[in-house]
Structure 1
């Protein structure tokens, strides 16, 4: 993904599949053929603008108001895609800079360790101890900054989306009432009765869609725990459910998930970090079953007074050599650019900080099982 130092084109913001899907949705909403194109062509066309520049056209033999409304909707979508790309680029640059800084620090530490070893072997244990303290502090600072960024982003999304969604839902309800009044005013056999019925169905679908958007925003807000302090009483089943909703909405083909959630006691913990760890595990499982498969999520309260979470997928699995490095920072089996390789590292550090454990078993072609155990009471 490139850095947008100049205005992007339509092809840079959306791939051909996304453009095709968006055109299909616009046609469904307009009840007539509409296409999102990079060029105007020879027929009727309405420009789509981003940052005051025309980057695409809405084409089709439709009235200009319909094409303009479709163009406005596409502009809103492209605006948020553009903002997301910029945020992703910023995150990538920050991650790369942090990685380079860590490499330089690790190199300096290795040289320091060599000098200490030459001076006295007895000092080696003390040097290793200090190195570990520094590493943990760096990891905690990185995670703290990342969680704050997620919280600010979620707050911004909630603020930007909730208000217009509220207006939309209110207007749709009023429109439904107008349809009721029109239906009562018309004779039973009037030719417009069928049109009113179709219009009512469109209003109900739109109202259901706006309610779904509001639900997604609420899940995002709960996931980032904007309104919660550092350590609170956490309901693991609730955090899991929210993380599963986010995973399903973040993947084009929502993976099939089955759940067996037992009654669990609330545990003390950092809700945002636990949510992030659970999301990372579920997101890895979802990526493993992209070519087909299911994900099973199970929780139970063990006799040892621990909370046991099992996430099992029937995906591609992990080979033994990669499994040995699965928790290493920046290690990934995905293609370059598909991930930072920090997901399971962050998950392990978070679970360890909560005095728990995480274990992964896998066979290539057979799937993967992740077992997380957390103490019901913090020691």
Structure 2
């Protein structure tokens, strides 16, 4: 809409239809028809707006009629201009208000995007804190479990080692006494069979006490009672102890093959590494049952050590394979597992600068590889 900052023309002030209606009205008032146009013709008189001629009025019965009609047209156009001015002001105000609303809307959108970004950042920090808390809970749980095992092993060592020691010593002395008594007894078939059975009983009892002592030693190695928190670790020794403990837990029915290469000692936490190896072997034992096989291998080169635990058990279903490292996830019945074994094992290996990988096929078995770095000069 034109704002009339420049001088308007007749067509700016009146549309052709309005101009025709105005001419018809004036013709009805005058004795002869009149016509308004932008071009001057004959006896036409000027039609002015703001002291400027914008058109010409012709016709009418006399000069007086023409001048009166032109004056009336000029008067009407003054109000037309005022209406147009008010309309322009309203239009400009509306446009300004709309522009301001658009600006406010853009500012609101920018503010909303900023707060959304802040909300996302806050949620990320909350998630990170939740992960830290969950990790701390796992470490506390594992630490408490290791302390419990340590106390148990310490109690076993204290309460069993001493009596087992003198029982074993007494049995060996008793065996020697039987040998000394043999020539003093009458030579009869009954006496010979009795002495042979007695010797067998003593030998079996001595073997049992040796087995108890071996289990206690494995428990001590497993819980690292006599070791510092951070020490040079013999992985083969820890692995053998873990194998013996798993065998004991399963009544020595497991078919475990050990193929252990010579390994350098590595710095670490013996108790945590023992717990990790035990968890992995225990998982394999539960997967194979009494009829399967477990292969335990160690490899070493200039860059690192690998511990490989492979079984031909049931394997892990594809539907849950991506969740096996999730905390508290377990496929065992309620009350049979905490769901932290593999999680703690992975985190322990990572804490030692290594990596734990798992490859499993349902019905074909599972292969777990623990890779640990070798510190130069260790």
TM-score of the aligned structures, taking structure 2 as reference length: 0.66
Q: How many residues align?
A: 263
Per-residue CA deviations over 1:323-354 (Å, capped at 9, x if unaligned) read 11111122111222222221111111111111
Compared CA separation, residues 361 and 142, structure 1 to 2 (3 A): same
Post-superposition offset of 1:264 = 0.9
- 1:132 & 1:355 partners in 2: Cα distance? 20
- 2:374 & 2:190 partners in 1: Cα distance? 65
Post-superposition offset of 1:204 = 0.8
Question: 1:345: which partner in 2?
Answer: 343
Q: Which of 331, 334, 338 is the aligned partner of 2:332? A: 334
Post-superposition offset of 1:134 = 2.8
Query: Contact (CA 8 Å) 2:260, 2:298: kept in 1 or not?
Result: yes
Structure label with greater radius of gyration: 2
- 2:129 & 2:309 partners in 1: Cα distance? 35
Unpaired runs of 5+ in structure 1? 1-115
- 1:320 & 1:132 partners in 2: Cα distance? 26
Post-superposition offset of 1:187 = 4.2
TM-score of the aligned structures, taking structure 1 as reference length: 0.65
Question: 1:211: which partner in 2?
Answer: 210
Q: Tell whether 2:362 aligns with 1:364.
A: yes
Question: 1:5: which partner in 2?
Answer: none
Question: 2:262: which partner in 1?
Answer: 263
Matched residue SS, 2:291: coil
Matched residue SS, 1:278: helix
Question: 1:35: which partner in 2?
Answer: none
The alignment yields a C-alpha RMSD, in angstroms, of 2.1
Question: 1:158: which partner in 2?
Answer: 157
Query: Contact (CA 8 Å) 2:296, 2:310: kept in 1 or not?
Result: yes
Post-superposition offset of 1:227 = 1.1
Query: Contact (CA 8 Å) 1:117, 1:123: kept in 2 or not?
Result: no
Query: Contact (CA 8 Å) 2:258, 2:297: kept in 1 or not?
Result: yes
- 2:193 & 2:372 partners in 1: Cα distance? 58
Matched residue SS, 2:305: strand
Question: 1:134: which partner in 2?
Answer: 133
- 1:188 & 1:257 partners in 2: Cα distance? 47
